[in-house]
Structure 1
Amino acid sequence: MTIASGSAQQGGSHIYRAMRDLVQSMNDTIPGKFEITKKGIVHDMMAPIGPHELTTLHLRKRLEKVMPDAIVAHTGEPDVEDESESIMRRPDVMVITWADMEVPDSFDPRTLIAAIEIVSRSNPDNDWVGKVRDYPLMGIPVYSIFDPRTGTGAVFTDIHPTPDGPRYATRKDFVYGEDVTIADWTISTEGLPLYG
C-alpha cells in the first residue's frame, strides 16, 4: 500500500529526509515494512509468512554454497539507500561482499552484486513494478524476483538509459524447478515453497 505519493525529488532532499525519519520511526512501532520509493512511501502491512521466509532461507543457503567466501547473501538490515534518487529499500536478499557491508549506516546500492525479492502476497506490485523501476535507478545491476503465488520468477539485468531514466534491458523468466542464474551463480529452484 502506498501511503504517500509523489516524487520526493519534487520538494528536494529535505522532503526525502523527512520521509526517511518518518519511516524509521514507524518501523519501530507499526507492524510491516516501510520503504521509500520513487513514488512515495510504501507499507507492506503483512509480516512475512512461512513460504516467504522459507524461500528467503533457501535462496540464501543455496547461493552461499556456490559463491566465494568473500561474498554473502545477506538478509535483514540495514536498508539500501540512494539519497540522490530519494529511494530507500530493503531487499529480502542482498548479494554483497563482506567488505562492502562494513559501513556505519545504509548500504550503498552500487555495492550490491544483486538484489533478490520474494513477492509479497499482500503487495505484489511493489516487487513486480516498483522495484523493477527503482533498482536500476539505484544502480543495482541484477534484480531477481521469486513469486510463491505462481511458482515463477524473473531475473532483470543490463541497465541501460531510457527517456524515463535507467531501466533493465534484459528479463529472463523462469519456472520453479528450473535452474536460475543470478549474477555469476546458478542455483536450483527445485522445492521452493508456494503460498497455499
Structure 2
Amino acid sequence: MTIAPDDAQQGAPHVYQAMRDFVQSMDDTLPGKFEITKEGIVHDMMAPIGPHELTAVHLRKRLEKIMPEELVAHTGTPDVEVEAEGIMRHPDIMVIALADMDVPGSFDPRTLIAAVEVVSRSNPDNDWVTKVRDYPLMGIPIYAIFDPRTGTGAVLTDIHPTPDGPRYATRKDFVYGEDVTIADWTISTDGLPRY
C-alpha cells in the first residue's frame, strides 16, 4: 500500500520530514515495513514469514562465506537514505564494509556494494518496480532480486543517466538452481525456499 501526499513528488523538505517522522513512529508498532519513495510512504504489510526470512538468511550466509572479512551481508537496521531525493529504503540485505556501518543514523546508500531484496508476496511491485527505479537514483551500484513466488530473479548493474533519471543498464536474469554473481561473488541458488 502506498500513502502519497499531494506534494510528495515535489520533494518539499517539510513533507519528507513529516513522512520520515511518521515512519519512525511506526517502527515496532505495526507489522510490516515502512519505506519512503518518490510517491510517498510504502507499507509492505508482510509480517516476516518463513520462506522470506529463510531466503534472506541463506543468501546472507552464502555471501559472507566467500566475501572478505571486512565486508558483511547485513540484514538489520538502519535504513539507507537520500534526504535530498526524499527516499528512505530498507533493503533485506545490504552488502557493505564494516567501516561504512560506523555512522550515526541511516547508512549512505553510496557506500553499499549491493542491495539484495527477497520479493514480498504481499507487494511484489515494490521490489520489481519502485526499487528498480529508486536504487540507482540513490547510487546503489548493484541490485539483486530473488523472487520466491516464481523461483526467478535478476541482478541489475551499470547505472547510467536517462531522461527519467539514473537507471540500471544491465539486467541478468536467473532461475533458482543456477549460480548467480553479485559484485565479485558467485553463490548458488540451490535449495532456496519458495512461496
- Give the structure 2 partner of residue 78 of structure 1: 78
- Which residue type is aligned with residue 76 of structure 2? G
- Give the structure 1 partner of residue 3 of structure 2: 3
- Give the structure 1 partner of residue 108 of structure 2: 108
Identity among equivalent positions (%) equals 82
- Give the structure 1 partner of residue 98 of structure 2: 98
1:156-194 CA-to-partner distances (Å, cap 9, x unmatched) read: 000000000000000000000000000111000000000
- Which residue type is aligned with residue 181 of structure 2? T
Cα 1:11–1:147 shift into 2, 3 Å? closer
- Displacement of 1:5 in angstroms is 5.0
- Give the structure 2 partner of residue 88 of structure 1: 88
Structure 1: 5+ residue runs without aligned partners? none
Alignment TM-score, normalising by the size of structure 2: 0.97
| Structure 2: distance between partners of 1:8 and 1:86 | 8
Aligned-residue CA RMSD (Å) = 1.1
| Structure 1: distance between partners of 2:103 and 2:185 | 25
- Give the structure 2 partner of residue 146 of structure 1: 146
Q: Are 1:27 and 2:18 an aligned pair?
A: no
- Give the structure 2 partner of residue 63 of structure 1: 63
Structure 2: 5+ residue runs without aligned partners? none
Q: Which deviates more, 26-35 or 117-126?
A: 26-35
Number of equivalences = 195
- Give the structure 2 partner of residue 177 of structure 1: 177
Q: Does the Cα contact within 8 Å between 1:109 and 1:140 map onto a contact in 2?
A: yes
Cα 1:162–1:63 shift into 2, 3 Å? same
| Structure 2: distance between partners of 1:105 and 1:29 | 20
Alignment TM-score, normalising by the size of structure 1: 0.97
| Structure 1: distance between partners of 2:128 and 2:25 | 27
1:46-99 CA-to-partner distances (Å, cap 9, x unmatched) read: 212100000000000000011000000000100000101110000000000000
The secondary structure found in structure 1 opposite 2:130 is helix
After the TM superposition, which residues 113-192 of structure 1 pair with which residues of structure 2 at under 5 Å, given as runs?
A: 113-192=113-192
Q: Does the Cα contact within 8 Å between 2:179 and 2:189 map onto a contact in 1?
A: yes
